[in-house]
A and B are shown apart, each in its own frame.
Chain A
């Protein structure tokens, strides 16, 4: 596939491009891509946003034991691991923004604060999405972030710049949604792995370059048919860049992911920001209140969110749902049990699998995934 190959080649040199841009005076803002950090503000300030979303490497998990107790969320602990392993992407940020969604993600912020010289901005994310008080708190956080970014870059975030960035990010959401929806086809033109990799690429590519490539990919895919096989909905807390084991195991069992939902590792694309007179308010409205699907299950939006995910399962004609848990990410473990029962009530086969990014788990994951695919194939 032309565009996917072009993007892969581009990504190989993107980090060195970023190093060069930083040397030329550009500021780099890292963030945890959990869906609550408006990238638009960073672009509008003249800085370059990069989503810090690596995972899947057990070396980073082991390295993190120098800083954290062993019993802690695999994805979150890996972040300080990558920094300690001197991953070039993790050494770039002048500022790291961490939306504090739960204690695991909050600890990513603490690690940056305790062990690195990089400045950290904690963006508070209250859990009650329906409360006006919570909304005002998040909105205030965005105003503070705007000030922080202006201080970092020396540029002011004007309405015109922000409006332009919102338009561009809405365009990216629209294109990702269009490509995602092509997977409703009996023969999806793009594999689950390629789709998630597109999302991951979008966290640190140049956004104009990404938009151009998404446009051409969307055209390419509209003329293509892929493989037919068992259709999987993959859900979980985190799908990190590099953590593609589940996709590979599904592919070797003849199945594929046709739709997914993660808190960290995917760009929310089901809706767009509605532009209004107050653009910061518009950002808060989208990122905190109106985003679809609503923020993570353990917030008060549980029922609406479950209903939305089950509707997705129906719309994409999935044969089964896999809940992909990080070891010791308790909040999602708890919700996985609840959501599994909702899914089974609606007739969707469901399985929860757990990872610690440890190669020793490969065989047991293979057994679980193969058995699950065998069980849904005979239904």
Chain B
């Protein structure tokens, strides 16, 4: 049995093929203007890596912000449920997920079976998402991958009081003009962003093991400041962007098996 999970997010599209109890292939590409085209491309890529095509897939589940328009998906499931399943597969002891994507962030509490207990989501404000870091990297003329390592070098992170991306950018420029170091400014930016996420986690309630996912999980500064704030070790999957697609694939397998058992397939 081969099943496909496809997670079309605002910034990137991810796909995972699962079969025989293993993750067989994964792929990530940027989400283009045309979501259907992006979904087709990422599916082609994830299949090509193991020499299969969409015709070889028994069942597929789509998730993410573009989930409703993936033409070949047999079922759609929200990214909240999919992340929970994907993280549970990789970290069976996980009870809290902090997912920070390109344009949203969420905190999900899960039980020992990987079912969602409760969740909180910010998809209305860029501060607290990957977009915030993209804007800040541009201010320093740095690549997005460079800002985390610089942030953790700070000995005295600046206080960034603005909670809005646009105003934070202005505040950073004015602090730069006052001669604050790049490291301290980036340290402050990371801390401000982490405080937003952690206040969401505190409101919801969190417990260990905490797993950080989404594109921003690749940022070592974010991981460090979260650990400092919650005084707990945070786990990061080897490929933190793929958990939604993986969960979708696992749910596709469960659904297909159910249909086989009930004779629908």
Residue numbers of A with Cβ under 8 A of B are 337, 344, 349-351, 361, 363-364, 367-368, 370-371, 374-375, 378-379
B12 to chain A: which residues have CB within 8 Å?
none
- State the CA gap A363–B76 with chains docked (Å): 14
Cβ of B213 within 8 Å of any chain A Cβ, yes or no, is no
Q: Which residue of A lies closest to B121 (CB)?
A: A368
B80 to chain A: which residues have CB within 8 Å?
367, 371, 374-375
Say whether B78 contacts A371, CB under 8 Å: yes
Within the complex, which residue of A344, A363, A367, A374 is in contact with B118, where a contact is CB–CB below 8 Å? A344
Given A374-B80, A374-B81, decide whether A367 and B121 contact each other with a Cβ distance below 8 A. Answer: yes
Given A364-B123, A364-B124, A367-B121, decide whether A378 and B78 contact each other with a Cβ distance below 8 A. Answer: no
Q: In the complex, how many angstroms separate the beta carbon of B166 from the nearest chain A beta carbon? A: 16
Q: In the complex, how many angstroms separate the beta carbon of B20 from the nearest chain A beta carbon? A: 25
Say whether B115 contacts A367, CB under 8 Å: no
A-B contact pairs, 10 of them (CB 8 A): A351-B118, A367-B80, A370-B78, A371-B116, A371-B119, A374-B80, A374-B81, A375-B115, A375-B117, A375-B118
Say whether A375 contacts B116, CB under 8 Å: yes
Q: In the complex, how many angstroms separate the beta carbon of B122 from the nearest chain A beta carbon? A: 10
Q: In the complex, how many angstroms separate the beta carbon of B259 from the nearest chain A beta carbon? A: 17
Q: In the complex, how many angstroms separate the beta carbon of B263 from the nearest chain A beta carbon? A: 22
**What 1/0 flags go to B116-139 for Cβ under 8 Å of A?**
111101011000000000000000
Say whether B65 contacts A375, CB under 8 Å: no
Kindly list 5 other residue pairs between chains A and B, CB separation below 8 angstroms, not including A350-B118, A367-B65, A375-B81.
A364-B123, A367-B121, A371-B81, A371-B116, A375-B116
- State the CA gap A361–B123 with chains docked (Å): 9
Say whether B124 contacts A367, CB under 8 Å: no
Say whether B65 contacts A363, CB under 8 Å: yes
Say whether B115 contacts A379, CB under 8 Å: yes
A349 to chain B: which residues have CB within 8 Å?
117-118
Q: In the complex, how many angstroms separate the beta carbon of A341 from the nearest chain B beta carbon? A: 9
Q: In the complex, how many angstroms separate the beta carbon of A321 from the nearest chain B beta carbon? A: 11
Cβ of B73 within 8 Å of any chain A Cβ, yes or no, is no
Q: In the complex, how many angstroms separate the beta carbon of A69 from the nearest chain B beta carbon? A: 17
Within the complex, which residue of B65, B115, B118, B119 is in contact with A378, where a contact is CB–CB below 8 Å? B115
Say whether B203 contacts A337, CB under 8 Å: yes
Most buried by A among B77, B78, B124: B78
Cβ of B79 within 8 Å of any chain A Cβ, yes or no, is yes
A378 to chain B: which residues have CB within 8 Å?
115
The 7 A-B pairs at the shortest CB distance, nearest first, are namely A371-B80, A375-B116, A371-B78, A374-B81, A364-B123, A370-B78, A378-B115
B65 to chain A: which residues have CB within 8 Å?
363, 367
Q: In the complex, how many angstroms separate the beta carbon of B114 from the nearest chain A beta carbon? A: 10
**What 1/0 flags go to B206-229 for Cβ under 8 Å of A?**
000000000000000000000000
